[in-house]
Chain A
Amino acid sequence: MEQQPEQLTFDFDNVQAHINSESREDIKLTLGEFSGPLDLLLFLIKQEQANIFDIPIARITDEYLKYIRLMKTLDISMAADFLVMAATLIEIKSKMLLPREITGEAEEEIEDPRQELIDRLLEHQKFKNAAEMLYERVTVEQAVFVRGQIESDENNTETNASVFDLLAVFQKIMSRHKEEVQMEIEREEMSLAEMLKRIKTRVLAVGEINLIEIFGEMRSRQELVLAFIAILELVRTESVKLLQKNTFGDIILKKV
């Protein structure tokens, strides 16, 4: 075997597994991930320069388990699928060790325990190549630009939202609202007297405030209700009055 460190990069994407193997015993994982156990197997077969149709199952299983152990020591979270494959490999390995029934004529018909795995590897390899083709296509496509949108009734942002877009926004608002409610639990409850005092002091200090501003400051439904009652109370006791400059205009709270 070669003595100098060999560098093996495996795949077309930048998300590559990159392994420096200085010797058989010492495989160093530098970075990256395999997209799955079949990927790892293909890589190991290539590394061992083995024939995919005649996988040296004992050797590959050892290498595979070594890699799995390495992933564990490096604390790479491992998908259960990697372990399933490890079990499959061990099963095949043990089947290979069993003495084959030599029945003479039927010898060739005995199925190779590796056959299913070989088929899966070949199938996987095909789709890996297809993925590579897609990668090349999308890379070329990213060099092509189309004209930006022209404003029309259809793509007008005011009308272009689908029901699902609306739902997404609604959900966002709901979750934000939930957070607010959670905050409210931690806070002390405010009494009507406190709210009255708070609003009155504000109005007296600044002369007039827009109602929207006051309601906007309220953090919860309860506070909103309190503020509403407080304002009504203030108007009733005539320490403030409500003004509306035009129909449907903002309502202003004004010091008397």
Chain B
Amino acid sequence: MEIEEKQQRGIGETISIIEALIFVADEPLTVKTLAEVLDEDKETVQAAVEELARDYDGRESGLQIREIAGGWQLATRTEFHEEVRRFLKTRPSAKLSLAALETLAVIAYKQPATVPEILEIRGVQSASAIKTLLDKRLIVAKGRKETVGRPMQYGTSKDFLIQFGLKDLSELPSIEDFEDLAGGV
């Protein structure tokens, strides 16, 4: 490891503290926040958190340290979802309707997207789908567009990244990747 040691803290200890912080955090912890708490530079923290994630992977833990919504998070592994659900007595939460998913797809790729733009692509009024997405905090209003009618613009939220397991928006496959499929109707 070519990680520089700062202060008297060893890399092992840094990793352990990061693990503790990620454990208590409610939201994905950014490297920036970790660096501030630890008073280390970002590069050291980045390397340490990656090492920690590899460590979890390496010993086939029931947990994983994963990068999501621009931060790091401790979560259970997908493989054990049945057992976890049985214990928590939960079922998968209500899924989004086809209309809501389509609307979300348009907003995710076209953001900031306005209602007329969504209508153009979906061919259908999407007011109730937009409301559902706003209620679920998957999208947020991003001000009005300075054009005819000054329509409201929408973009995806941090919750969207979390719920869809994305590090950031660039992790979404390019919309052009779906074109091949489109031609093959």
A residues whose Cβ falls under 8 Å from a Cβ of B: 11, 13-15, 35-39, 42, 45-46, 51-52, 79-81, 85, 120, 122-135, 137-147, 149-150, 155
Q: Does B14 contact A (CB under 8 A)?
A: no
A144-B165, A147-B23, A149-B26 are contacts. A52–B123 as well, Cβ < 8 Å? no
B109/A146 in contact, CB under 8 A: no
Complex Cα gap A183–B148 (Å): 46
B102/A131 in contact, CB under 8 A: yes
Complex Cα gap A141–B96 (Å): 13
Complex Cα gap A137–B26 (Å): 22
A141/B163 in contact, CB under 8 A: yes
Q: Chain B's nearest CB lies how many Å from the CB of A89?
A: 12
- State the main secondary structure of chain B at its contact with A: helix
Complex Cα gap A145–B90 (Å): 11
B75/A145 in contact, CB under 8 A: yes
B164/A141 in contact, CB under 8 A: yes
Q: Which residue of B is nearest A82, CB measured? A: B124
Q: Does B88 contact A (CB under 8 A)?
A: yes
A144/B75 in contact, CB under 8 A: yes
3 closest A-B pairs by CB: A36-B124, A143-B81, A38-B123
* Pick from A11, A38, A45, A143: contact of B122, CB under 8 Å: A38
B residues whose Cβ falls under 8 Å from a Cβ of A: 23-24, 26, 73-78, 81, 84, 88, 92-93, 95-99, 101-102, 104-106, 108-109, 120-125, 163-166, 173, 175, 178-179, 181-183, 185
Q: Which residue of A is nearest B119, CB measured? A: A81
Complex Cα gap A131–B105 (Å): 5
B164/A15 in contact, CB under 8 A: no
User: Residues of B contacting A138 with CB < 8 Å?
Assistant: 95-96, 163-164
Complex Cα gap A132–B104 (Å): 11
A123/B121 in contact, CB under 8 A: yes
Complex Cα gap A80–B124 (Å): 8
User: Residues of B contacting A125 with CB < 8 Å?
Assistant: 178, 181-182, 185
User: Residues of B contacting A15 with CB < 8 Å?
Assistant: 97-98
B123/A127 in contact, CB under 8 A: no
Complex Cα gap A122–B181 (Å): 10
Q: Chain A's nearest CB lies how many Å from the CB of B131?
A: 15
A142/B97 in contact, CB under 8 A: no
A81/B124 in contact, CB under 8 A: yes
* Pick from B23, B78, B95, B106: contact of A143, CB under 8 Å: B78
Complex Cα gap A146–B63 (Å): 9
B108/A126 in contact, CB under 8 A: no
- 16 A-B residue pairs with Cβ-Cβ distance under 8 Å, sorted by A, are A13-B98, A35-B99, A35-B124, A38-B124, A81-B124, A122-B179, A125-B182, A126-B181, A127-B105, A129-B178, A133-B105, A135-B96, A137-B165, A142-B92, A144-B78, A146-B74
